[in-house]
Amino acid sequence: MPSVQKKSRQTLRKGSSRSMTDLRLSTSSRPSTADAPPMPDLAPLQAHRLKYRQAHANLDTQLGERSDYTTIIHSIGVLDADDTFVAAGLDSEYRDPGEGDIAKLTPELWAKIAGYLDPADAASLAFSTITLYRRLGKKYFTALSMPENIDYKMRFLAGIDQSLPHHLLCFPCGKYHRRTAEGTERLRPAHVINPLFDCPEAMNSLNPPPRHRITHGRMLPFAFVQLIMRAYRFGPKYGITTDTMNRRWTRDGWTHASRFIIHEGRLLMRVKSQACADPDMPPSLVRMLLHSREDYWPYFSACAHWRDGVLMPACRCALEHIPKPRSTGGLQGMEHKVKDKWTGYKFDPNALTTLCGFCRPMRRCPECPTEYLIEVKLTEDRSDPKAMVFRQAIVVTQWTDLGDGTLPSGPQWGSINGTRDDYDSFQHPHYAKRGLASIFEAAITADTLPGQRVLSLNPKQKKLGEKGHDWY
Ligand SMILES: [Zn+2]
Ligand SMILES: [Zn+2]
Ligand SMILES: [Zn+2]
């Protein structure tokens, strides 16, 4: 009888002769038969992974570049491409030195040319070659040290970044300082003293260095954006890479994860924050969950305009969609049981939460390059490691553009921190056609985000700030 059984097994498994189970069975039951199937050189799962790794890496096989198909699709039909621009060919070895041509013009003529430039550009012109410096003199540099020309001075100083790999421009002083932790600069929590250079203004709270609030107790000093973008533009010895910046931390019941990428010469940041939430929370508990007790900012990462618009109402709306437990006692419990039996429905406290048309869409701040997505997800509550409890959690993801890291007065950094008000994120060419979140997600994964509408964070464009009452 056993031989018959084996025979039938053989025929049954004929089609799947390469599977692992079959391999194990055949070797254990018939260790010495001559017609044993050949040993596959790779386990099926491994073979599957190898096959799809290439496809999912999204890399061009010829160039090794990341191929982002969505960008290709988005760029089709764009006719206003600026391909007439040709670089000056400064590095060309066949280019004749221009000193002779410069020297042909008189100092008066050069002074007239410099007169058409603003102080920063005039100083840059005088700084470019020794011939021009002799023609123009040092008066353009003395002009930069005037207090009213501080913005021009910073722009001039930021322009000579490439010649100073071991220094970093300090904005409170308006000077380059020697980097003291060269190459090992790491982002640390706000309460840890983490100097990148020796600065006389470091302890002066009236003249703080530019920084961006990520979450409660976490700051992103502009110096780190400088370091990343310098390393990206000029080379590794100028700064640090984005990989050293990604963090995961827990504070006040919220878990945060930050990630950075560089896109078209600008640093993008994603901060994902989540906290467990109970169903049917009273308004006071919702406030406790969302707002920090110290400064009333939200616990998750937000731009300077979070009080205007619908960010906080949408968070509160999302929390209301968490399925409420049913009362199980008394007559009401009986009623629920009978109803559920009748309809064949079983109440599940861990059911997926569906959000509504108000809180589900992605929201983009109209005044700065920032996008928000609010979700309610079922997550494992790790506060008690022994209990395996799954709870609903609110997840707020923020994508933001930190700018090119040259000056804190730049359009992106200035607008997300509220020091500039001339940024229109729905009109700006960077994000008019394609959302910040989809650019970010396409760069790090082959999977795409579920399509979400992008709506304005502040559809009515009302700006009440702290005086508005909807934010709390
Ligand atoms: Zn300084
Ligand atoms: Zn809702
Ligand atoms: Zn904003």
User: Is residue 263 domain-shared with residue 374, that is, in the same domain?
Assistant: yes
Q: Separation of 183 CA from ligand 1 center, angstroms?
A: 19
User: Is residue 295 domain-shared with residue 409, that is, in the same domain?
Assistant: yes
Q: How far apart are the first and last CA of the chain?
A: 78
| CA distances in angstroms from 72 to 46, 82, 425, listed in the order given | 32, 16, 22
Averaged pLDDT for residues 432-441: 86
User: Is residue 351 domain-shared with residue 457, that is, in the same domain?
Assistant: yes
User: Is residue 310 domain-shared with residue 438, that is, in the same domain?
Assistant: yes
Residue 404 lies in a domain: yes
**Taking ligand 1, which is a single-atom ion, which protein residues have CB atoms under 5 Å away?**
170, 173, 199, 201
Helix, strand, coil % in the chain, rounded to nearest 5: 35, 15, 45
Domain boundary among 159, 180, 196: 159
State the DSSP code for 324: P
Distance between CA 275 and CA 300 in Å, rounded?
A: 9
User: Is residue 138 domain-shared with residue 260, that is, in the same domain?
Assistant: no
pLDDT at 167: 92
Q: Separation of 311 CA from ligand 2 center, angstroms?
A: 12
When pLDDT is cut at 50, 70 and 90, the band that residue 26 belongs to is very low
Residue 309 lies in a domain: yes
Residue 200 lies in a domain: no
Distance between CA 26 and CA 39 in Å, rounded?
A: 11
Q: Separation of 209 CA from ligand 1 center, angstroms?
A: 8
Q: Separation of 305 CA from ligand 3 center, angstroms?
A: 4
- Asked if the model's pLDDT at residue 5 lies above 70, the reply is no
Q: Position of tokens 């596959």?
A: 40
**Taking ligand 3, which is a single-atom ion, which protein residues have CB atoms under 5 Å away?**
303, 305, 365, 367-368, 370
| CA distances in angstroms from 9 to 12, 256, 412, listed in the order given | 5, 53, 67
pLDDT at 323: 81
Q: In sequence order, which residues have a C-beta less than 8 Å from that of residue 133 and are 6 or more positions away?
A: 126, 127
What pTM, to 2 d.p., does this model score? 0.75
Averaged pLDDT for residues 185-212: 87
Residue 1 lies in a domain: no
User: Is residue 406 domain-shared with residue 264, that is, in the same domain?
Assistant: yes
Q: Separation of 289 CA from ligand 2 center, angstroms?
A: 17
Q: Separation of 342 CA from ligand 2 center, angstroms?
A: 29
User: Is residue 267 domain-shared with residue 362, that is, in the same domain?
Assistant: yes
Q: In sequence order, which residues have a C-beta less than 8 Å from that of residue 298 and are 6 or more positions away?
A: 290, 291, 292, 306, 311, 312, 315, 396
Ligand whose nearest atom lies closest to the CA of 199 = 1
- Asked if the model's pLDDT at residue 2 lies above 50, the reply is no
Ligand whose nearest atom lies closest to the CA of 311 = 3
Distance between CA 441 and CA 95 in Å, rounded?
A: 43
Residue 165 lies in a domain: no
- Asked if the model's pLDDT at residue 387 lies above 70, the reply is no
Domain boundary among 159, 174, 201: 159
Q: Separation of 319 CA from ligand 2 center, angstroms?
A: 8
459: domain range? 246-325+340-467
User: Is residue 252 domain-shared with residue 153, that is, in the same domain?
Assistant: no
Q: Separation of 356 CA from ligand 2 center, angstroms?
A: 4
User: Is residue 144 domain-shared with residue 251, that is, in the same domain?
Assistant: no
- Asked if the model's pLDDT at residue 140 lies above 60, the reply is yes
Q: Separation of 353 CA from ligand 2 center, angstroms?
A: 10
Residue 295 lies in a domain: yes
Ligand whose nearest atom lies closest to the CA of 369 = 3
**What is the total count of domains within the chain?**
2
CB 66 within 8 A of CB 442: no
- The helix/strand/coil state of 299 is coil
Q: Separation of 208 CA from ligand 1 center, angstroms?
A: 10
Residue 80 lies in a domain: no
User: Is residue 153 domain-shared with residue 251, that is, in the same domain?
Assistant: no
Domain boundary among 113, 130, 159: 159
Residue 446 lies in a domain: yes
